[in-house]
């Protein structure tokens, strides 16, 4: 059954889990510096080191022409006016694109073109796909009231580069303004 195990995996879009996948958990304490409102961040963390998101990754094979994929789940929540988010990254191999498929909940993807700095906000909702081109930083954000779950499929060689975003973050932030997700310049 080894062949089947490599080629067939069941996931639960409600729970955000995937059979046999390696799971990474990110809590508030892992996200210091990522939210624009630092005082709100420290206050929230003092209350509870809440789970913000998990990523379950499947890497069936390595090498050119292979694919890796993952199931992401972001909890609903906010730090100040800013919605719970993933750290966001470029691919280490910059030309690598990625396809995101919404499974549950209501969210957005924040995309930022590395060359032009141009930002885009794209809906991430069930029964829809978001194509993330190469050379583009991407962050996933839960703007809804239930966990946001989605699949991401990417070239096995893509790799993850978190360094640049950790250093300077995205140029834009997504804030709840009158209860609606709104793209704003990052003001520090």
Residue ranges that bind Fe ion, judged by CB under 5 A: 98
Q: What are phi and psi of 4, to 5 degrees?
A: -65, -45
Give me the least distance between CB of 70 and Fe ion, in Å please: 9
Smallest gap from residue 90 Cβ to Fe ion (A): 8
- d(CA 181, CA 112) in angstroms, rounded, equals 17
Give min distance, CB of 97 to Fe ion, in A: 9
Residue nearest Fe ion, Cβ-based: 98
> What radius of gyration, in Å, describes the C-alpha atoms of the chain?
16
Q: Which is nearer to Fe ion, 72 or 147 (CB)?
A: 72
Kindly report the length of the chain. Answer: 188
Nearer to Fe ion by Cβ, of 82 and 98: the residue is 98
DSSP sequence for 6-37 = HH---EETTTTEETT-EEEEEEGGGGTTTSS-
Cβ proximity to Fe ion: between 44 and 110 the closer is: 110
Residue (98 or 112) nearer to Fe ion, CB: 98
Shortest Å, Cβ 185 to Fe ion: 24
For residues 114 and 135, the answer to whether their CB atoms sit within 8 Å is: yes
């Amino acid at each position: 059954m080894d062949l089947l195990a490599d080629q067939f995996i069941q996931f639960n879009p409600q729970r955000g889990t995937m059979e046999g996948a390696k799971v990474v958990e990110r809590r508030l304490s892992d996200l210091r510096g990522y939210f624009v409102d630092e005082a709100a961040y420290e206050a929230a963390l003092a209350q509870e080191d809440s789970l913000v998101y998990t990523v379950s990754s499947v890497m069936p094979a390595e090498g050119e022409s292979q694919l890796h994929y993952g199931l992401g789940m972001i909890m609903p929540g906010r730090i100040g006016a800013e919605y719970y988010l993933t750290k966001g990254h470029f691919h280490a191999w910059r030309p690598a694109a990625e396809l995101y498929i919404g499974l549950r909940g209501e969210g957005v993807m924040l995309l930022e073109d590395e060359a032009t700095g141009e930002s885009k906000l794209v809906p991430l909702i069930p029964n829809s796909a978001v194509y993330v081109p190469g050379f583009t930083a991407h962050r996933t954000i839960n703007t809804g009231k239930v966990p946001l779950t989605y699949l991401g499929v990417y070239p096995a060689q893509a790799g993850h580069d978190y360094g640049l975003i950790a250093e300077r973050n995205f140029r834009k932030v997504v804030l709840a303004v009158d209860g609606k997700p709104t793209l704003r310049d990052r003001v520090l």
